[in-house]
Copies of this chain bind each other. A is one copy, B any other.
Amino acid sequence: MKIGELARRSGLSAHTIRYYERIGLLPYADRDRSSQRNYDASMLIWIEFLGRLKTAGMPIRDMLRYAALRERGAGTEAERCEILVQHRERIRAHVADLQACLLVLDTKIAGYGDQKQRTKEL
Protein backbone atom coordinates (compact mmCIF):
# COMPACT_ATOMS: atom_id res chain seq x y z
CA MET A 1 0.00 0.00 0.00
CA LYS A 2 1.34 3.42 -0.95
CA ILE A 3 0.97 6.51 1.17
CA GLY A 4 -2.13 7.75 -0.65
CA GLU A 5 -4.08 4.62 0.06
CA LEU A 6 -2.91 4.51 3.66
CA ALA A 7 -4.03 8.11 3.97
CA ARG A 8 -7.46 7.31 2.62
CA ARG A 9 -7.85 4.25 4.78
CA SER A 10 -6.49 5.75 8.00
CA GLY A 11 -8.09 9.15 7.74
CA LEU A 12 -4.75 10.93 8.14
CA SER A 13 -3.40 13.10 5.35
CA ALA A 14 -0.29 11.95 3.48
CA HIS A 15 1.41 15.06 4.86
CA THR A 16 0.57 13.96 8.39
CA ILE A 17 1.77 10.41 7.79
CA ARG A 18 5.14 11.74 6.60
CA TYR A 19 5.22 14.07 9.57
CA TYR A 20 4.54 11.17 11.95
CA GLU A 21 7.34 9.18 10.36
CA ARG A 22 9.67 12.16 10.61
CA ILE A 23 9.11 12.54 14.33
CA GLY A 24 9.23 8.80 14.99
CA LEU A 25 5.60 8.04 15.68
CA LEU A 26 5.47 5.74 12.69
CA PRO A 27 8.40 3.44 11.92
CA TYR A 28 10.59 4.39 8.97
CA ALA A 29 8.74 2.82 6.05
CA ASP A 30 10.34 0.62 3.42
CA ARG A 31 10.71 2.39 0.08
CA ASP A 32 10.34 0.87 -3.38
CA ARG A 33 12.91 1.44 -6.19
CA SER A 34 11.54 4.92 -6.72
CA SER A 35 11.67 5.93 -3.04
CA GLN A 36 7.96 5.54 -2.49
CA ARG A 37 6.82 4.31 0.89
CA ASN A 38 5.25 0.89 0.97
CA TYR A 39 2.96 -0.05 3.86
CA ASP A 40 1.22 -3.20 4.88
CA ALA A 41 -2.14 -3.43 6.60
CA SER A 42 -0.65 -3.72 10.09
CA MET A 43 0.20 -0.04 9.89
CA LEU A 44 -3.51 0.72 9.92
CA ILE A 45 -3.82 -1.02 13.29
CA TRP A 46 -0.99 1.01 14.74
CA ILE A 47 -2.38 4.27 13.36
CA GLU A 48 -5.76 3.45 14.77
CA PHE A 49 -4.21 2.86 18.18
CA LEU A 50 -2.33 6.14 17.94
CA GLY A 51 -5.66 7.76 17.14
CA ARG A 52 -7.08 6.34 20.32
CA LEU A 53 -4.24 7.72 22.37
CA LYS A 54 -4.69 11.07 20.67
CA THR A 55 -8.44 11.12 21.29
CA ALA A 56 -7.62 10.22 24.85
CA GLY A 57 -5.55 13.40 25.00
CA MET A 58 -2.10 11.83 25.14
CA PRO A 59 0.53 14.36 24.05
CA ILE A 60 2.74 13.34 21.15
CA ARG A 61 5.84 13.23 23.34
CA ASP A 62 4.26 10.40 25.37
CA MET A 63 3.17 8.57 22.25
CA LEU A 64 6.78 8.88 21.14
CA ARG A 65 8.03 7.20 24.29
CA TYR A 66 5.58 4.39 23.70
CA ALA A 67 6.45 4.13 20.02
CA ALA A 68 10.15 4.01 20.81
CA LEU A 69 9.66 1.16 23.29
CA ARG A 70 7.53 -0.65 20.72
CA GLU A 71 10.35 -0.33 18.18
CA ARG A 72 12.78 -1.80 20.68
CA GLY A 73 10.47 -4.78 20.96
CA ALA A 74 10.62 -7.44 23.66
CA GLY A 75 11.68 -6.52 27.16
CA THR A 76 9.92 -3.18 27.11
CA GLU A 77 6.44 -4.44 27.97
CA ALA A 78 6.49 -3.35 31.60
CA GLU A 79 7.44 0.19 30.66
CA ARG A 80 4.86 0.38 27.89
CA CYS A 81 2.22 -0.93 30.24
CA GLU A 82 3.20 1.70 32.78
CA ILE A 83 2.65 4.47 30.22
CA LEU A 84 -0.79 3.15 29.42
CA VAL A 85 -1.74 2.72 33.07
CA GLN A 86 -0.68 6.27 33.85
CA HIS A 87 -2.59 7.59 30.91
CA ARG A 88 -5.66 5.61 31.88
CA GLU A 89 -5.63 7.43 35.19
CA ARG A 90 -5.41 10.77 33.43
CA ILE A 91 -8.37 9.88 31.25
CA ARG A 92 -10.40 8.79 34.25
CA ALA A 93 -9.65 12.08 35.96
CA HIS A 94 -10.55 13.95 32.80
CA VAL A 95 -13.85 12.10 32.50
CA ALA A 96 -14.63 13.05 36.09
CA ASP A 97 -13.85 16.71 35.30
CA LEU A 98 -16.10 16.60 32.27
CA GLN A 99 -18.89 15.12 34.27
CA ALA A 100 -18.56 17.92 36.81
CA CYS A 101 -18.75 20.38 33.91
CA LEU A 102 -21.86 18.65 32.62
CA LEU A 103 -23.52 19.16 35.99
CA VAL A 104 -22.65 22.85 35.96
CA LEU A 105 -23.94 23.20 32.40
CA ASP A 106 -27.14 21.35 33.21
CA THR A 107 -27.77 23.73 36.08
CA LYS A 108 -26.97 26.78 33.99
CA ILE A 109 -29.13 25.60 31.10
CA ALA A 110 -31.97 24.82 33.47
CA GLY A 111 -31.64 28.40 34.73
CA TYR A 112 -32.02 29.76 31.20
CA GLY A 113 -34.95 27.41 30.71
CA ASP A 114 -36.66 28.86 33.79
CA GLN A 115 -36.22 32.35 32.44
CA LYS A 116 -37.73 31.33 29.13
CA GLN A 117 -40.58 29.79 31.06
CA ARG A 118 -41.18 32.99 33.03
CA THR A 119 -41.01 35.04 29.82
CA LYS A 120 -43.65 32.82 28.26
CA GLU A 121 -45.83 33.26 31.29
CA LEU A 122 -45.78 37.05 31.05
Chain A contributes a number of interface residues (CB within 8 A of B) equal to 33
Report B-chain residues with C-beta under 8 Å of the C-beta of A21. Answer: none
- A104 contacts partner chain B, Cβ-Cβ < 8 Å: yes
The complex places the Cα of A94 from the Cα of B57 at a distance, in Å, of 11
Q: Are B77 and A116 in contact (CB under 8 A)?
A: yes
- A102 contacts partner chain B, Cβ-Cβ < 8 Å: yes
Could you tell me which A residues sit within 8 Å of B by CB distance? 49, 52-53, 55-57, 77-78, 80-81, 84-85, 87-88, 91-92, 94-95, 97-102, 104-106, 108-109, 112-113, 115-116
Pull 23 A–B residue pairs with CB atoms less than 8 Å apart, ordered by A: A52-B101, A53-B101, A55-B98, A55-B101, A56-B98, A56-B102, A78-B112, A80-B112, A81-B113, A84-B108, A84-B109, A88-B102, A88-B105, A88-B106, A88-B109, A91-B98, A91-B102, A92-B102, A94-B98, A95-B95, A95-B98, A95-B99, A95-B102
